[in-house]
Amino acid sequence: MKILTADHVLPITGEPISRGAVAIDGEDIVAVGLANEIRARYEDVEVTDFGKAAILPGFVNCHSHLEITAMRGSLDAVEHDFRSWLLKLNELRAAMSDEEIEEAAFLGAKEGREAGVTCFGDVGRSGHAGLRAMKRAGLRGILFQETEFSPDNRTAEDDFKTLIAKFEKLQGEATELVSVGLSPHAPYTVGSMLFEMIAQFSIINRVPITIHAAESANETELMTRGTGFFTEVYERFGVEWASPHCTTIEYLERLGVLSARPLLAHCVEVTQSDIERIAANGARIAHCPKSNAKFGHGFAPFESFLDAGIAVGLGSDSVASNNLCDIMEEARFASLTARNRPGSERFIGPREMLRVATLGGAEALGLNDKIGSLEAGKKADLAVISLDAPAQNPIGDVEATLVFSTSGRDTIATYVNGKPIY
Ligand SMILES: [Zn+2]
């Protein structure tokens, strides 16, 4: 057993505790409370006191692409529109070996654990890179095996077989901490039949899925009117693809995909009725405000997601677009941009933001029975953040200090399943 104490303990499901403690037995949290009480209850147990710091549940990054970590900083010279970014990305990727991709993915996972991230929802086209990176870094997570470019219904059967073969192979590498899901990439790269097959597979086998959905105006144009940039790509490659003439969310509902309760990344281009459909189906959202801003895709109606009761977590997206995996910075940016967005309805304060960054992310990944808050019975996945820097002081409100004056680089320790991994 061990006890961790600090000036502030934030259970997330309860009020912050001054001079608090977390008692850990093996992989599990057994008690959270006042340091003096916990120490009295568990005599002769080793105590680590972090002093002027905060202990909170580890951050959950519910949308990342660890396998393209090496491309950070190499894509900023391109005009940040999605098309030129993607073309340049593919060019850089083709120049790298599988070993190099894997090594870079590990460095991305290491970056996360050093910034208090204990769990990733990672999307990978090669799959192995992100999965092995999380395992090697001692992290928890779900690796979502992504589809290849497969918008044509004529190849749906084969595309599905290829995907499931990759998925089954990856499952052989899964552990108690790192499991495997599927990611039909986006409505414009996955045909309607393939979407239906994946949704059925997900429901029958209880396999989690994630989708890039309603990310840009280009996507909305294609879905609702069947025109724009993507149609040129289809013509060039001789792809048969018919526009459903409805929003992305309506389309996913029509195909039965929303009933699989997918984790929808982005959801920038959503109507009020789309939000109601997401909520009614129990689908979840990965909010990636910095990536959306970098591409100029606009603002997701973040507070409407929360007010509709949807499970929402934060995602860094890839560091090739962000360019960081820092969930505290993401939380700060999410709060500030939601506040300043035209039509913004209310302020999302630090308490609500910390919940989204931890428990919200756990709910979005369907892991909230295990992680996301500091409570007896949950797994001991936690982050310890120093509060000692001049920029963080004085501390009038520890939650505001964390969200508005703290960086992932202030992290001093990270634990997963009760084990220090940083
Ligand atoms: Zn993404």
Distance between CA atoms of 117 and 180, rounded to whole angstroms? Answer: 19
pLDDT tens sequence across 378-415: 999 999 999 999 999 999 999 999 999 999 999 999 99
**Cα dihedral across residues 376, 382, 388, 394: positive or negative:** negative
Compute, in angstroms, the gap from residue 172 CA to the centroid of ligand 1: 25
Q: How far apart are CA 354 and CA 332, in angstroms?
A: 10
Segments making up each domain of the chain, as ranges: 2-57+372-420, 59-364
- Superfamily classification of domain 2-57+372-420: Urease, subunit C, domain 1 (2.30.40.10)
Going by DSSP bridges, is the β-strand pair 263-266/284-287 parallel, antiparallel, or unpaired?
parallel
Q: Which of 176, 184, 70, 167 is nearest to 128 (CA)?
A: 167
Res 344: pLDDT: 87
Decide: helix, strand or coil at residue 366.
Answer: coil
For ligand 1, the distance from its centroid to the CA atom of residue 261, given in whole angstroms, is 18
Cα 246 to the center of its chain, rounded Å:
27
Q: What is the rounded distance in angstroms from the CA atom of residue 322 to the CA atom of residue 72?
A: 8
* Distance in Å, CA 212 to ligand 1 centroid: 6
What's the gap in Å between 246 CA and the centre of ligand 1?
22
Query: What integer pLDDT is reported at residue 89 of this predicted model?
Result: 86
Q: Is 333 left (phi over 0), alpha (psi -120 to 50) or beta?
A: alpha
CA of 184 to the centre of ligand 1 (A): 12
pTM for this one? 0.97
> Which of the listed CATH numbers 3.20.20.70, 3.20.20.140, 3.10.20.310, 3.40.50.2300 matches domain 59-364?
3.20.20.140
Q: How many residues does the chain have?
A: 422
The reported pLDDT for the residue numbered 76 is 80
How many angstroms does the Cα of residue 186 sit away from the middle of ligand 1?
A: 10
CA atoms within 13 A on the CB side of 388: 13
Segments in the chain below pLDDT 70: 79-80
The DSSP 8-state label assigned to residue 150 in this structure reads: B
Q: What is the pLDDT, as a whole number, of residue 80?
A: 67
